[in-house]
Structure 1
Amino acid sequence: MTDSISDIVHRLIEPFNQKGVAVTATTLFAQDLEWDSLTVLDFVANVEDEFDILITMNQQAEIETVGQLVSAVGELQAK
């Protein structure tokens, strides 16, 4: 299940990956992808729609890497 979540998250990142960064589980959204707050909001909205989940502002603040996001999505889907 984690692989499919990871694949989907990577697909959702692509349109926002303006720098062409090679995305891995350790890729940092702010530092590596250089996303601003508006980009993050757009991306999170896409993730929420794709997985039919709600990521709170507190959860967003704790998620810094792609791997952390994949884990969080898995946990939220399990609820």
Structure 2
Amino acid sequence: MTDRQTIFAQVAEQIAPFNKKGVALNEGTTFAGDLEWDSLTVMDFVAAIEDDFDILITMNMQAEIETVGQLVDAIVKLKG
């Protein structure tokens, strides 16, 4: 398993408690559209991701991240 695959798996684990509709996750899954998250859910999820990976995702980065794949890319870059 590559680092990216490992990170995707960890992200999927973090998404699970917030995935009320049981949406199947892939790189293109969107947080607002597919998962139908509101801003409060996003804030809770971002906090969980930051704690899990020991990173800080800025508000500017959050605004650019729309899909699971983009989040994984951002984590890879921040962990770099």
Q: TM-score higher than 0.5 here?
A: yes
In the other structure, the counterpart of 1:64 is: 66
Q: Deviations over 1:6-55 (max 9, x none)?
A: 00000000000001111111000000000000000000000000000000
The AA in structure 2 aligned to 1:68 is Q
Give percent identity, aligned residues only. 63
Alignment RMSD: 0.4
TM-score normalized by the length of structure 2:
0.96
TM-score normalized by the length of structure 1:
0.97
The AA in structure 1 aligned to 2:67 is T
CA distance in 2, matches of 1:32, 1:3: 21
Pairwise CA distance, 1:72: 0.2
CA distance in 1, matches of 2:76, 2:51: 14
CA distance in 2, matches of 1:9, 1:65: 11
The AA in structure 1 aligned to 2:74 is A
The number of residues matched between the two structures is 78
CA distance in 1, matches of 2:22, 2:53: 24
In the other structure, the counterpart of 2:79 is: 77
Residue 35 (structure 1) aligned to one of 37, 43, 59: 37
Pairwise CA distance, 1:56: 0.2
- Residues 1:4 and 2:6 aligned together: yes
CA distance in 1, matches of 2:5, 2:32: 23
